[in-house]
């Protein structure tokens, strides 16, 4: 379960920084250095407005950062790589309202490489994975928020990326749905064997899901800590959250996030620190 240093790194971020130019110049990301090993589930927590979305846009190649490099599988990211998919924070505006659920998924599948039968299979499989097989012919606006989010996830799954980036995907769903979606992500990871980078501002969620949690500071963001999560697998919504390890880790992260508003720690070295500074 634990991430060992012998695993190869799929995504490597070196000296990443971003400044929004303009009338009000804003340094969103200070300096980020980290690596995501292949097959890992890494979650990133940070306060609202600390530059998490900005970071994901840089990692996915939607935007080029002001400083630093992003390597995916050893190659620099210029433009969006084929092997990468991103689930946006604002899922409702990223689904196409003029297409049905199945249509939204079909739309992202490359027409040339896949036969009609293969496309159908992919659609069915990914809808089944998120438990939405019955809603295939509905339109996104006929679904609840949680269902829409699941469609966005299914669409990304059908695309079969090697790495999946997710931007606060469960921020606007109720607690019950959220728990279901969290377990869905764990199941999906198992089923499709993807590397997942999961951004959230929910500390519990970050610990519950991940092998490793990166804690970001306020803007301009740096990495406050990179913590390994050694919780038994499979995780359980009730059981896991009761474990001493879980409680201690979440308190530690909560303290860090609270404390960095008063003092600014220097960025630790990549991936090997188990505690702040």
Ligand X SMILES: Nc1ncnc2c1ncn2[C@@H]1O[C@H](COP(=O)(O)OP(=O)(O)OP(=O)(O)O)[C@@H](O)[C@H]1O
Under DSSP, is residue 109 helix (H, G, I), strand (E, B) or coil?
coil
| 212-216 and 41-45 strand pairing | parallel
Binding status of residue 94 toward Mg ion by CB under 5 A? no
Residue partners of 260: CB distance under 8 A and separation at least 6: 217, 218, 224
Tell me the number of residues near other proteins by CB under 8 A.
24
Binding status of residue 240 toward Mg ion by CB under 5 A? no
| Per-residue 3-state assignment (H helix, E strand, C coil) for 217-249 | CCCCEEEEEEEECCCCCCCCCCHHHHCHHHHHH
Q: What's the number of CA atoms in the CB half-sphere (13 Å) around residue 271?
A: 19
Binding status of residue 275 toward ligand X by CB under 6 A? no
Q: Which entry of other proteins, ligand X, Mg ion, none binds 49, CB below 5 to 8 A by partner kind?
A: ligand X
Binding status of residue 43 toward ligand X by CB under 6 A? no
Q: Which is nearer to Mg ion, 53 or 100 (CB)?
A: 53
What track of x and - describes contact with other proteins for positions 105 through 144 (by CB under 8 A)?
A: --xx-x----------------------------xxxx--
Dmax (CA) for the chain in angstroms is 58
Binding status of residue 49 toward ligand X by CB under 6 A? yes
Cα-flanking dihedrals φ and ψ of residue 146, to 5°?
-65, -40
Tell me the number of residues near ligand X by CB under 6 A.
16
- Please give the residue ranges that form the binding site for other proteins (CB under 8 A): 60, 62, 79-80, 82, 84-86, 88, 90, 93-94, 96-99, 107-108, 110, 139-142, 159
């Amino acid at each position: 379960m634990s991430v060992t240093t012998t695993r190869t790194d799929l995504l490597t971020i070196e000296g990443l920084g971003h400044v929004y130019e303009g009338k009000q110049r804003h340094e969103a990301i200070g300096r980020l250095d980290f690596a995501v090993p292949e097959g890992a589930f890494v979650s990133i927590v940070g306060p609202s407005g600390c530059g998490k979305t900005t970071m994901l846009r840089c990692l996915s190649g939607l935007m080029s950062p002001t400083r630093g490099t992003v390597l995916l599988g050893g190659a620099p990211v210029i433009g969006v790589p084929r092997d990468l998919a991103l689930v946006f924070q604002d899922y409702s505006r990223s689904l196409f309202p003029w297409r049905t659920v199945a249509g939204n998924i079909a739309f992202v599948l490359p027409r040339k490489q896949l036969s009609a039968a293969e496309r159908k299979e992919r659609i069915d499989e990914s809808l089944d994975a998120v438990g939405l097989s019955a809603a295939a012919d509905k339109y996104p606006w006929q679904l609840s928020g949680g269902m829409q989010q699941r469609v966005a996830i299914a669409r990304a799954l059908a695309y079969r990326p090697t790495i999946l980036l997710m931007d606060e995907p469960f921020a606007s769903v109720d607690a019950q749905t959220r728990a279901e979606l969290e377990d869905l992500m764990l199941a999906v990871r198992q089923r499709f064997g993807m590397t997942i980078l999961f951004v959230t501002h929910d500390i519990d969620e970050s610990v519950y899901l991940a092998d490793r949690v990166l804690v970001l500071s306020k803007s301009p963001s740096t990495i406050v800590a990179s913590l390994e999560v050694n919780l038994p697998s499979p995780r359980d919504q009730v059981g896991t959250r009761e474990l001493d390890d879980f409680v201690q880790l979440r308190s530690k992260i909560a303290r860090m996030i609270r404390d960095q508003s008063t003092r600014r720690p220097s960025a630790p070295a990549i991936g090997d620190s188990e505690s702040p500074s």
